[in-house]
Amino acid sequence: NAGVMQNPRHLVRRRGQEARLRCSPMKGHSHVYWYRQLPEEGLKFMVYLQKENIIDESGMPKERFSAEFPKEGPSILRIQQVVRGDSAAYFCASSPQLGGGLNVYEQYFGPGTRLTVT
Amino acid sequence: GESVGLHLPTLSVQEGDNSIINCAYSNSASDYFIWYKQESGKGPQFIIDIRSNMDKRQGQRVTVLLNKTVKHLSLQIAATQPGDSAVYFCAEKVVYGNKLVFGAGTILRVKS
């Protein structure tokens, strides 16, 4: 049973270019979360999506950042016109469902995409 | 606003000793807490979780304690091993939401 998959693992972009980060959740999971991590810091929530819906985007910057989770295919985090401050590790997590017994809020993380903006 | 903080940024322990990693949280509305382990270059790995209606939960070699009175969470690792060396994060989930709020992390170094 494959875990959460993210690609690419490393991405280098020049300032002004676009970055597209992909996330395939665990099989059977319909909830996807994106987090950003700066060096030696904790993860910061960005956005929470279910299939075709954005549920919570309270952590997303107002400009240049967007996310989607289409009916078919992976979730995409898109950063337009990247700047050096966007350099970070971006992690995707997935979970199976809400409510119910213990562990159902557990989020399973992928290996991350390390974005470097030059 | 929401915040989760850790008391000690780095903890060094001798192999075989017990480790205790502490975490303070500020949001009394949080109803679920998780400890994650993150090794260099990898994503966070689930260790153990606890709901707010519990004060203790045990796993294999790990125990999480929750003190809601003082908003404190701790992770105890028994017989610490070199493979336990990593950064440990506590995270909280606020009721009626699904996002996790992470602390800054504690580096655990195990000396052989």
Beta carbons within 10 angstroms of residue A34's beta carbon: 26
How far is Cα B55 from Cα B8, in angstroms, rounded to an integer? 22
Residue B6 has pLDDT above 50, yes or no: no
Q: Is it true that the peptide bond before B82 is cis, omega within 30 degrees of 0? A: no
> Which of B6, B49, B98, B101 has the highest number of chain A CBs within 10 A, making it the mutation to test binding with A?
B98
User: By the CB < 8 Å criterion, does B14 face chain A?
Assistant: no
Lowest-confidence pick of A5-14, A50-59, B95-104: B95-104
| pLDDT one-digit tens code per residue, A54-88 | 999 999 999 999 999 999 999 999 999 999 999 99
Q: Bridge partners of A45?
A: A35
pLDDT-derived band at B4, boundaries 50, 70, 90: low
Q: Which residues 34-53 of A have a C-beta within 8 angstroms of B?
A: 35, 40-45, 48
Lowest-confidence pick of A96-100, B28-32, B86-90, B108-112: A96-100
With CB atoms and an 8 Å threshold, state whether A98 touches B98. Answer: yes
Residue A118 has pLDDT above 60, yes or no: yes
**B82 φ, ψ (degrees, to nearest 5):** -55, -35
More confident residue, B32 or A98: B32
**Of the partner residues B32, B41, B102, the one whose CB lies closest to the CB of residue A105:** B32
What pLDDT, on the 0 to 100 scale, is given for residue B94?
A: 80
